[in-house]
Amino acid sequence: MNKHQRIGIKKPWVLLLLATTFLEPNDSWGQGTPKDGPSIKLAELSQSIEELSNRVCPAVVQVFSSGFRVNPEDGPSDPGLISKSRSVGSGVVLDSEGYIVTSAHVVEGAAAVEVLLPALLQAGSPKQSILKGRGKRFSAEVIGIDAETDLAVLKISQRSLPFLALGDSDQVRQGQLVLAFGSPLGLENSVTMGVVSATARQLRVEDPMIYIQTDTPINPGNSGGPLVDLQGRVVGINTFILSRSGGSEGIGFAAPGNIVRNVFEQIRKAGRVRRGTIGVYAQTISPELAQGLNLPNDWGVILGDVFPGGPADGAGLKEGDVILTLNGKVMENARQLEVNFYRQAIGERVSLEVLRGAEKLKLAVAVAAREPDPERFRANVSVQNNRVQRLGILGITVDAKTAQELPPLRKHAGVLVAARVSTVFPGEEQLLPGDVIYSIDRVPVADLESLRSAVRELNASKPVVVQLERQGKVRYLAIWLEDSPRR
């Protein structure tokens, strides 16, 4: 960390705004005798930001990941081929015991992850050069990944680390000054400043994720670093940018701090994220929907569907019901309703106030666990460690920990298909993410190594028969190997 680091304000409009803000009522530019007031106040503001930077920087880390990946179908390289993958991003320490949050895409599929802590100036040490040495580098364990929010939790062995507190992102306001910390383009421990452009940006209609939008300069390498308020609280984790040039164009997005808190706490405790649901499809009421359905308000939440046999159906909710409040809190949009279900414990009952026609009802509904995404294991595997080449998949041994994250299985040993890494020809049957392989050509499969061993002996000139469980049903599947002459 550079104790004497200063923050350059790169945006002339920001400097003009700040200077204008701190002018006394009778001050004017270029008129009369110069006064010390504005300069002193701007200097105080600059010093405050420097002090804030010095408090935040010790908890901001650089994240390095390496491994192999399969070239995507729509990428610039040959699709389906294996290539080395290296990624550099940022992270922030949220617990002194070595727990770090970063972006999932920084560490997804990595075979090795390392964290570089900043070089710290020890208390009582003499004044040092502004050019600091490198900090310490530690191997990191990926505790868990949540693909929906693009967040991951890492852990290193170091203890008593400086850490930052998460702020209440519901209190963030448009126009608020914020600072982004991280390693843009690999430049360790950088800081930029800007404002909040929007507080709950939804990039697509009914997108399950919302973001804080900011014009704070964010570039590749900033992913996973903190967006902080002027009190040094983490109000967001920098996630991605929209750009035509590939660099910062003032349109950056951060996962809100309250969502980060929920994901961080769940992964730290259980290694995964469970989300609650009541079995409905909720939609945000638009002015057009309100007009067409003769609703009293052109905002809020309406139920487009109530899933048969689900908790909401059992509690008496119906299609077309308007959700007014959840546990007394006004629901303004569908995303807000979903997020509030996330925060409820599975099995807990919530109180809903509902408008049905002209009648207001109060209903109690039990929260159930949402059906997990079969693709969720992809982030926890790598081509290097989990590839079964002749089947074109990445597999995971079904052990006690993995079984806890799956619906009840019919058998107690096998290999879970985490992802496909090759193209399937049209019309061919294929293994799918979420399948659990029990045998191949009648040879039982106990773990990943036994699957690889069985596959090595297979004849490529004919299809092989895989016994697997898919969505609770055990079935046979005839598939062709990747090196089959038919392919």
**pLDDT at site 207:** 67
Instruction: Examine the fold and report which residue of 318, 343, 369 is the final residue of a domain before the chain moves on.
Output: 369
Residue 407 pLDDT level (bands cut at 50, 70, 90): confident
**Tally of domains within the chain:** 3
Task: Indicate whether 290 and 379 sit together in one domain.
Answer: no
Name the amino acid, one letter, at 22: F
Residue 423 pLDDT level (bands cut at 50, 70, 90): low
- Domain assignment present for 161: yes
**pLDDT at site 97:** 95
Query: Higher confidence at residue 373 or residue 67?
Result: 67
Counting Cα atoms < 13 Å in the Cβ hemisphere of 472 gives: 3
Task: Indicate whether 360 and 349 sit together in one domain.
Answer: yes
What is the CATH number for 456?
Answer: 2.30.42.10
Task: Indicate whether 313 and 188 sit together in one domain.
Answer: no
- Domain assignment present for 65: yes
- Domain assignment present for 485: no
- Which residues carry out catalysis? 105, 150, 223
- Domain assignment present for 487: no
Task: Indicate whether 286 and 222 sit together in one domain.
Answer: no
Task: Indicate whether 347 and 397 sit together in one domain.
Answer: no
What is the CATH number for 114?
Answer: 2.40.10.120
- Domain assignment present for 329: yes
**pLDDT at site 422:** 74
pLDDT at 307 over 80: yes
Instruction: Examine the fold and report which residue of 248, 273, 298 is the final residue of a domain before the chain moves on.
Output: 273
Task: Indicate whether 267 and 173 sit together in one domain.
Answer: yes
Instruction: Examine the fold and report which residue of 222, 256, 273 is the final residue of a domain before the chain moves on.
Output: 273
**pLDDT at site 28:** 44
Residue 205 pLDDT level (bands cut at 50, 70, 90): low
The Cα–Cα gap between 86 and 113 comes to: 10
**pLDDT at site 345:** 77
Q: Which of 120-134, 147-161, 180-194, 215-229 has the lowest mean pLDDT?
A: 120-134
Helices 334-342, 257-270: inter-axial angle, 10-degree rounding: 30
Mean pLDDT score, 353-362: 95
Task: Indicate whether 337 and 357 sit together in one domain.
Answer: yes
Task: Indicate whether 185 and 48 sit together in one domain.
Answer: yes
Residue 191 pLDDT level (bands cut at 50, 70, 90): very high
Query: Higher confidence at residue 127 or residue 448?
Result: 448
Mean pLDDT score, 91-96: 96
Mean pLDDT score, 178-193: 92
pLDDT at 253 over 60: yes
Q: Which of 114-118, 238-242, 324-328 has the lowest mean pLDDT?
A: 238-242
pLDDT at 117 over 90: yes
Task: Indicate whether 268 and 288 sit together in one domain.
Answer: no
Task: Indicate whether 241 and 161 sit together in one domain.
Answer: yes
pLDDT tens track for 25-55: 554 444 445 555 668 888 888 899 999 999 9
Structural domain range at position 389: 374-479
Rounded to the nearest integer, the mean pLDDT of the chain is 84
